[in-house]
Structure 1
């Protein structure tokens, strides 16, 4: 269904044949309209409907935009980009937490034909240099500082190494030499009616043009820029919306960063497509997230298991009105029965499981038509626009997960050969994950292939075991790694690396007992445990298991 990208750069053709593109359109997975068209439609039909609500934790305030304001700001920001010399195909980097400015800026890039590159505010300097250099970003929008890191100074200091970077705009606070105030250039008088937008006519990206670069975590090497069109993202968002039966009454409380696929696509873009509302916060605070749910009547809450467990605990401590919630969605991680039960007891909503990745967005998910507890057992079945295949399953049914379909990215930015190498001869994309079938046409993710722990030909269900161990009352989270045995011919040593909750974490015997009580094979009980203050992670939150293997492999 898909072929590797021939050219993964702004202005390149979509990475599928014309016949496949026609088929995707015929099925409604792709379209001629864009998310910018969706925004303009909502601004005409429901101008005063709340589009976004962004909570600023430090300032204790919530910034809101209705659809009319969002459309006006989009035009204003687009004109500001033109004045900076941004032209079709240029890349605009946005290094912001979950702030309202990111949303109209993203749409403004679509309006002028530019490609947006979201970057986390916790991105290290070397990685920031790599991303800005690879994309040859013309503009970077950032903060003066974040968590004590002087972001604006770092970026202006890199300009000598980044000849393409012409402008650094700083949102709020002091502006260092070599940068300028975002507010002065983009926002001043932005809430006034914008006139004279004729120079924007004809510049907007088409549905097939590249429009966003999302960088991978880079756990085993250089991070890669995943290039998507609005159509590849639309097919994923449409599948997500249809699977849950979402409509224009949808209000999402999003706990994930807007610089990640889940935040900007399943949050912002899905909301604009539907004409719904998206609420978010710039710093994660469980109480503030619950306040957003109550204040705006959220119908869907999205986040990782640890966040949702903390939210449920906060709800028990101080109850809010969460009666509007219908869907609590956990992405790319196992859902434990204890968590699903606690979410239902405290928030009154059902839990759903979802699997996806930057290269294809949400691919599989459990549905309202599944058994009530199905999220505990499965990551769901594929959306209509995607197909999954488990290649070369072993005796336990575990094999490499491959996918194909309309949501696959156009390619890796300026890394065409690397993207092509991910496909087999039949056009299936290798996700790098191991999975098994769930007996209902879906899949259950086992873990990353490169991190597999194998005993007697069976693959340990790493993600499930990690979730069980991490749910111990004295644990925050856990990671499993396989270490070399002390003697030749012995089994791989299974080491549980645990972040304790409080001063004292669980003992190894307690961890083994918890795994045993969860019903998992005793063959996969941890042999060793290490307590650490924090797990080493990538910018996208993935554990750097290679680092853990190096750290403890000689112990």
Structure 2
């Protein structure tokens, strides 16, 4: 049956298309507001431009631009045209982008004008036909060409299983994997969140998240667009600007780092948020002390939820009812969860094991990685999340660990193997291990523990400097420690638990 996420989104727009969809209070130049009618028209022009360039349904559009309303319009245009949206972290270095473009083979790339030359080199290496530009103020060749479109093409005929987006998530092997998300996956999750969190067209969402990430693009934007709500659009999280805008908002979505920073000043109190109906937190575990301090300071309980790139949101603490610190709540509507042992069998309630999920939100697999896809799914369509969890007697889900050594720093995923591979390639290095340790601001941060080759020397500043030249800054370890040997068990496996204990205070 025909189904398009874009059609669903546009059908959710207010009957009065003159209502404001997005406003940008901190913009120095360019447009500062869009009505819902203008959003729909701009998405149609974006979609038509890509079609006029020769893109066909299913073609990928890779995007590495700073956050702007025009970047969101580009996303909506891709949905409308049946093109597959591929957002890339703005912190990615050229080598990281080169791999993603080579793997995804996009038909078009949209980048910041400052990256135009390097992106054209990458596009030429991989056969990408078009490179367009878009800056934070909404200027660039993409905007200029879209403005020339006079007659819009029709909405593409899609079905639920058609790809809507590919989001790359680095793997334990060090090579990023492209999670394939369909129109149906995103629609199911968006509707579940909108309804569970009681979004209406009277809401005003203060949006301070990046939109190259599922949290900011899918969770936040879909909730607003599928309810006809207004978004106050901030280019980034700025504590002072958030405090200025909070009195006008009803909902705020953040990562734990946002809440830690808000609590850092005495000017954040109950009076600032008295009118707010909802604060949500995700992308990284929210410390119980942050939850309790926020509640004591404001009288509001942060609603923590749990999701991942491959599945969107899986669970949420209740909108009505107890929001328990240290838990991620209950499965969302139509989402099934189970905890299994090493033999793959479901464990009794309260036992700790691997968390698996099944539902309409779960992705179709990894782009061009059928073996990896098969490896991550259990019989019956259950996706192995890689998280270790338990479900208590009341049904609340508790995340107690991560089976894949994932580090979540400031809401971004850091996979140790990727960084270890780069360090191990340094001529002075024999071997290395990356572990996550507590960090008050980022929640968690990576540190490198390094064994040098006999007779070689290397210092922390040099090692970190080399990494900063090839990978995004959030992946770079905060410290490097040099040791004679790494601790190993009887099977020869590095005991990262011991390293985490040894360096637990390194970033405090």
Which category describes the TM-score, using the shorter chain as reference length? Answer: 0.7 to 0.9
Correspondence 1:553 to 2:486: yes
Q: Is the 8 A contact 2:9 2:226 kept in 1?
A: yes
Correspondence 1:327 to 2:278: yes
Correspondence 1:82 to 2:48: no
Alignment partner, residue 298 of structure 1: 249
Once the two structures are superposed, what CA deviation does each residue of 1:469-508 show, in whole Å capped at 9, x if it has no partner?
xxxxxxxxx999xxxxxxxxxxxxx98745588xxxxxxx
Alignment partner, residue 103 of structure 2: 134
For the residues of structure 2 that align with 1:236 and 1:397, how far apart are their CA atoms? 28
Once the two structures are superposed, what CA deviation does each residue of 1:337-374 show, in whole Å capped at 9, x if it has no partner?
432233335555321111110111010111033325x1
Structure 2 counterparts to residues 92-491 of structure 1, below 5 A: 92-145=61-114, 151-163=115-127, 165-172=128-135, 181-187=141-147, 196-197=151-152, 200-201=153-154, 203-294=156-247, 297-314=248-265, 316=267, 321-372=272-323, 374=324, 376-392=325-341, 397-451=351-405
Alignment partner, residue 448 of structure 2: none
For the residues of structure 2 that align with 1:154 and 1:355, how far apart are their CA atoms? 36
Displacement of 1:298 in angstroms is 2.1
Q: Report the more deviating stretch, 203-212 or 117-126.
A: 203-212
For the residues of structure 1 that align with 2:483 and 2:129, how far apart are their CA atoms? 41
TM-score, with length taken from structure 1:
0.70
What secondary structure does 1:101 align onto? helix
Is the alpha carbon distance of 1:544 and 1:237 closer, same or farther for their aligned partners in structure 2, counting shifts above 3 Å? farther
What secondary structure does 1:446 align onto? strand
Q: Is the 8 A contact 2:20 2:35 kept in 1?
A: yes
Displacement of 1:423 in angstroms is 1.1
For the residues of structure 1 that align with 2:176 and 2:484, how far apart are their CA atoms? 22
Is the alpha carbon distance of 1:371 and 1:550 closer, same or farther for their aligned partners in structure 2, counting shifts above 3 Å? farther
Correspondence 1:50 to 2:20: yes
Displacement of 1:89 in angstroms is 1.4
Alignment partner, residue 427 of structure 2: none
What secondary structure does 1:353 align onto? strand
Displacement of 1:77 in angstroms is 1.3
Question: Mind listing any 5+ residue stretches in structure 2 that lack a counterpart?
Answer: 342-346, 417-433, 442-459, 488-498, 500-508
Q: Is the 8 A contact 1:117 1:213 kept in 2?
A: yes
Displacement of 1:314 in angstroms is 4.6
Alignment partner, residue 148 of structure 1: none
Once the two structures are superposed, what CA deviation does each residue of 1:193-227 show, in whole Å capped at 9, x if it has no partner?
x7533xx2263433331111111133542111111
Q: Is the 8 A contact 1:218 1:538 kept in 2?
A: no
Q: Report the more deviating stretch, 414-423 or 41-50.
A: 41-50
Is the alpha carbon distance of 1:428 and 1:338 closer, same or farther for their aligned partners in structure 2, counting shifts above 3 Å? same
Is the alpha carbon distance of 1:61 and 1:111 closer, same or farther for their aligned partners in structure 2, counting shifts above 3 Å? closer
* Structural RMSD (CA): 4.1
Once the two structures are superposed, what CA deviation does each residue of 1:387-409 show, in whole Å capped at 9, x if it has no partner?
11111269983211111111111
Is the alpha carbon distance of 1:67 and 1:186 closer, same or farther for their aligned partners in structure 2, counting shifts above 3 Å? same
Question: Mind listing any 5+ residue stretches in structure 1 that lack a counterpart?
Answer: 1-30, 146-150, 175-179, 189-193, 453-461, 468-477, 481-493, 502-529
What secondary structure does 1:87 align onto? coil
Q: Is the 8 A contact 2:356 2:385 kept in 1?
A: yes
Q: Is the 8 A contact 1:80 1:185 kept in 2?
A: yes
